[in-house]
Amino acid sequence: MRAVQRSRRQGRRWVDHYERHLVSPREAVAGVSSGDRVYVPMFHESPALLGALAERAGVAGVEIRALAAVPAVQDVLADISPAFLRGNWSFGTPATRAAIRDGGADFTVVGFGDVHRHIDQRRANAAPYDVCWITATPPDDAGYCCVGAELWDLRTAMQRSRTTVAALNHHLPRTFGVTRVHVSEIDMFVSEPRQLRHRSPLTPSPAAVAIAAHVSPLVPHRATLQIGAGKTSGALAVAGAFDDKEDLGYFAETSAPGLADLVERGVITSKYATVRPNKFVTTGLTGGADDYAYANDNPFFEFLDYDTMLNPAVISRNDNL
């Protein structure tokens, strides 16, 4: 009986914390000061928070830091003076290359797996981030929010930030792996009503189709795949490189278009994977609403931290990679 009472008291404690710290987007950004660095894990942009920060008066030199910016972030920054709000990216994308080239955004050269190492090693000017913005589901009955199908470096960024703000979106999928964050780990909560984006259909170029035909015979049955981003590698699945394979596995820091379809069709089973058998393991699906819906409450998809998925000692344990 005492254990049950203690559990109930702890449950009430997280509810109290959540209710006390549920604020408006304007209140959430009120604590951002001139010169602060706001870290946004990839695919965790919050239109509510970005919009509120864009309207903030009296501050300057605020930096939005990320591995890479999705178009929604860059679109907001494009309409604001870099003297007020400036992006700093470590991976150039079609959405950010022009801004980097023209001096409207900064480019920090860093390996993805080492993105926060400068903070851990206390290098010059490597202070913790002032704020980390994430998106997550509203808390469940045990007080855990789920960050959906895009984990990336979210947890490591939270650990290296002074404050964490969660934009709560009930459209996000609930997923498996290390995607649950307890309410007590979050300092403020705002409501984020946006719908999840639908990914535009990918039509492989003739060159990508030809390359996929060359790749296909190099991949044996039961191999474990790692596929990188890019117009060619990212199109391999859609271009049919793996259609005739059996029992492929997947273990990579990112996903690509068409891979969820291969799971649904039984091509990717991870039955013979050596590190995480019977799992599709990644940090993020980089998908659209359809892929997220398929991953929702689907234990076959497992999302692990970025520093795990990019650790050579872990990667090398995969046979037939």
Instruction: Give the number of residues written for the chain.
Output: 321
**Are the CB atoms for 169 and 193 separated by under 8 Å?**
yes
Across the chain, what does the average pLDDT equal? 91
d(CA 47, CA 273): 39
Name the pairing type of β-strands 280-282 and 249-251.
parallel
* Residue 189: strand, helix, or coil: strand
pLDDT band at 9 (very low <50, low <70, confident <90, very high): low
Q: What is the pLDDT of residue 203?
A: 92
Single pTM value for the model? 0.92
pLDDT band at 5 (very low <50, low <70, confident <90, very high): very low
Nearest by Cα to 60 from 78, 33, 41, 37: 33
**Are the CB atoms for 59 and 31 separated by under 8 Å?**
no
* 43 Cβ neighbours under 8 A, 6+ residues apart: 70, 150, 152, 284, 286
Q: HSE (CB half, 13 Å, CA atoms) of 61?
A: 4
d(CA 212, CA 3): 58
Q: How many CB atoms lie within 10 A of CB 271?
A: 12
Rama region for 18: left / alpha / beta (φ>0; ψ in -120 to 50; rest)? alpha
Name the pairing type of β-strands 144-146 and 180-182.
antiparallel
> Scanning the structure block, which residue is given the tokens 């859609």?
238
Nearest by Cα to 88 from 57, 125, 136, 123: 125
Nearest by Cα to 285 from 140, 179, 193: 179
Nearest by Cα to 305 from 170, 160, 156: 156
Complete DSSP assignment for 73-115: HHHHHHTS-TTTEEEEESS--TTTHHHHHHTSEEE----GGGT
pLDDT band at 10 (very low <50, low <70, confident <90, very high): low
Rounded to the nearest angstrom, the gap between the alpha carbon of residue 134 and the centroid of all alpha carbons in its chain is 9
First to last CA, the chain: 51
Q: Say what percent of the chain tops pLDDT 90.
A: 71
Residue 16 pLDDT exceeds 70 = yes
pLDDT band at 11 (very low <50, low <70, confident <90, very high): low
Residue range 170-218, pLDDT digits in tens: 999 999 999 999 999 999 999 999 888 878 888 999 999 999 999 999 9
Q: What are phi and psi of 169, to 5 degrees?
A: -135, 115
Residue 223 pLDDT exceeds 50 = yes
Nearest by Cα to 63 from 2, 6, 133: 133
Percent helix, percent strand, percent coil in the chain, to nearest 5 = 30, 20, 50
Nearest by Cα to 245 from 214, 229, 266, 276: 266
Residue 297 pLDDT exceeds 80 = yes
